Amino acid sequence: MTDTRSQDIDLQEEAGAKFHRGSALSIFKSDRREDFMALMLALLIALGVYLFL
């Protein structure tokens, strides 16, 4: 049986609206910040690959 509390993971509140987002959740405050962090992580991986291989 589905645990009803398990369905809360994608609940999102944005501008007063509450809905199940269903995907694309993030720990960052904005998409812009997440994009920036992804860029930093990618550059870090690229640096590692460049230096160690």
Partner 1 sequence: MVYTHKHPALLIMGLVMLAIGASVSLGWQDGIVEYLGLKKVVWEMTSLTYVFGVIAVVVGLWHLFGKHEEGNLDYYLSTVAGVIFILLIAMLVRWYVAPFVAVLSKGLGPVMGAKYLHQVLGLNYVVLGIVAGILVVNVFKVPRWAENGVRLSRLGLKTGVILLGTLYSAAELRQLGALSVVMIGFFVLGSVGMVLWFGARRNIPNSMAGVLSAGMGVCGVSATVAAAPVVQAKSVEIAYTIGTILLWGVGCMFLFPVIGHLLDMGHVQFGAWAGTGILNSAQVAGAALAYQPDGIETLKVAEIFNITRVLVLPIIVVWLAVWFVKREEDAPGVNVGRVIFEKFPMFVIGFLLMFALSSTGIFAPAEHYKGKYFDNDIAAEKLLSEDQVASLQGEAGKVQRQDRQAALTRLIENRKVMSLEDDDVLRGLANAKVLSKDATGLLKKAHKAVRHTAKKVAAFRTWITWLFAFGLVGLGMQITLASIKQAGGQPLVIGGIVGTTKAVLSLIVVLLFVQETI
37 sits near partner 1 (criterion: CB under 8 A): yes
Backbone angles phi, psi at 48, to 5 degrees: -60, -45
Among 30, 31, 10, 13, CA closest to 21: 10
| Binding status of residue 14 toward partner 1 by CB under 8 A | yes
Note whether 6 binds partner 1 by CB under 8 A. Answer: yes
Give the whole-angstrom CA distance, residue 11 versus residue 18. Answer: 7
Residue 29 within binding range of partner 1, rule CB under 8 A? no
Residues at the site binding partner 1, with contacts judged by CB under 8 A: 2-3, 5-7, 9-10, 14-28, 31-32, 34-39, 41-42, 45-46, 49-50, 53
